[in-house]
Structure 1
Amino acid sequence: MALDSETFDALLDTVRRFVRDRLRPLEAEVEAADAIPDDIVAEMKAMGLFGLSIAEEHGGLALTMVEECRVAIELGHTTPAFRSTFGTNVGIGSQGLVMAGTPAQQTEWLPRIASGDIITSFALTEPDIGSDSGAVKTRAVRAKDEAGADIYRLSGTKRYITNADKADLFTVMARTGDEAGARGVSAFLVPRDLPGVSIGEPEKKMGQKGAKVADLNLDDVPVPAANRLGAEGEGFRIAMRVLDRGRLHIAAVCVGVAERLIADCVAYAAERRQFGKPIAEHQLIQAMIADSKTEALAARALVLETAAAKDASRDVVLESAAAKLFASEMVGRVADRAVQIYGGAGYIADYGIERLYRDVRLFRIYEGTSQIQQLIIARETMKRGG
């Protein structure tokens, strides 16, 4: 259920001011420290940002998809690392639980996820399993614990797991039984404090400093059978539903970053003078700004239209993939043009453009590469055409 317009407008204005007054001034500091300040995280919790997508009965804001995307666009006006701080709680780290969790599972975990008291992560990718997500090798073997209770013993390694360094709860995809392919994959809620869970050192990344990724290692971890999400063999379907939603959220962030870059380019072009006049008066600069603005508007329209369709309970597998493909590729082009408009200054760290140029490169990879989105779009188009 959507918030009333006055309440939502107040939330959006609060987020906008938070981004402008608190987050943007800290961008260089976060880049240098590769960490989000604790006081900023506390403010995010107080604003309810960790529970944007979680039901009110569990302490969340219960935003619609359109509302969530509009908030995500505003958050895209600063370095994406800030959004990643709570992004897994809002999206891939919580939505398996929201979509497939039992009432008992939801009551146990969702209130603490919505408050930010615990951080969640989504563990699908493995060292040699990326886009072929139905081929996961992590095993979940049925067993009994010392008291005779039903458990699964999980063994394997998950790679490039966002927020793994601080996560308290992981949604883990693991293979149950002997069936090969996607039908043999099941989903589990794995608390960090179970014996056999360990986290690797955070990876050194090209961009989005402050948002950490690391390996999740599972060494014969005893997971209660009550922590399985859905039935055995439903894990892949749950993962795909989670990713469909996550792609739309990421597409909205891409729109926000593009809007930020365009605004920065317009301001810079109005001040920077060459050949006796502001470079904004040179037509080739205007062409780059025009192309960027047009693409950003198209991406915004596609994202919000798809979000509205999702809120109406329509099948948006194709549209979510298209939104993610177009928006992530679009923001890459906008960032490239921004560096060109800034010229030499665009290559210098002090201006922040090169940082955003590096930050947005990831959008074409996670939640499914652009090539995976193309396959989904083609498959769904042919399915609907048939």
Structure 2
Amino acid sequence: MPTSTSLATPELRVDLDALGANVRAFRRRSRGLVAVVKADAFGHGDVVAHLLAQGADWLGTTSLAEAVALRERTGARTLAWLASPTADFGPAVAAGVDVAVPSLAHLRAVVAAARATCVPARVHLHVDLGIARDGAPREAWRELVTFAGALVRIGLLEPAGVMGHLSHAAHPDDARNRTERMLFDNAVRTAVRRGFVPQVRHVAATAAALRDVGTEYELVRVGAGLYGIDPAGGDALAPVIGLAAPAVVVRDVGAGTGVGYDHAWVATRRTRLATIPVGYADGIPRVASGRAEVLVRGRRARIVGAVSMDQVIVDVGDAGVEAGEPVTIVGTEPQAPTLGEWADWSGTIAHDIVTHLGSRWQRTFTGGAACA
């Protein structure tokens, strides 16, 4: 990647065949698959149609507005799970979006929308199993499900689901996985006794789905894994994304030549430098300065000096690179840097790398069928 001998602009290439393989792999592991497409499908762009065509059953996102647009565009069952209780739930309820409810304040806002639209709200009650994020604390659960059950009985709520999130699913032998699943089962039983009988239950995200932790329920919610990222660092998934950019300027320099602001790197020998037109505005982490590598003519070359807003400088040595030649930043060919390596160089996770890729990359899709 890329296959041509020249490249005009920075390119983000999405391998739809790899994406489809990952969707099918997770679908085989689950009874039902929620394809999580938040953050512009983890930076991959418009792949929704392909995800559904390859077997995803639901779509998932955090934004109510995005969920409404996805529901209206595709007709697929769509879940949104991170809204303020002061948000306008009316459009989501009217569109039939499934809405996660983690508190009484959220439930009151959703039921107000149901009354206003004369449409029962499809609700997934969200319980915190020990991750202390957006689910209802266990001490608030009984009051929440009691109110929800009463609303089901008068036709204002449709009991779509109960959901949670496991805190240690990347470590399948951790005892907390068993404890949290027991807590979840108890939470479901409490909901059922109070009249909220869920159509689906779900606790597993990517790491859990890969390790068969919590996959016995009706749905799994997979985001990063669809795009080839295992949060636990495994390599069972197909890499989906590739990044390349052209060398726009090359120059031969002698020993003692300083590069960039404050001469963060100084050449110790005669060498060739290539300027690549991507920087931290394009999602190239500045903290990877001096550590990250790219692939040039089949071999690794180091980024030298500080990553700038729009460019990086690569020490290509004696590779003889010319202006216009492609430089692989992330790829699948032998020796190419991986997203995992970029995460290590940057002291972060691969999710962070892909979701910060900016709009200046030319996004192209290869394999499969183009997304409609």
Greater RCO (Cα-Cα under 8 Å, separation 6 or more): 2
Q: Does the alignment reach a TM-score above 0.5?
A: no
Q: With the length of structure 2 as denominator, give the TM-score of the two structures.
A: 0.28
**Structure with greater Cα Rg:** 2
User: TM-score if structure 1 supplies the norm length?
Assistant: 0.27
User: Going by fraction, where is helix more abundant, 1 or 2?
Assistant: 1
Higher-strand-fraction structure: 2
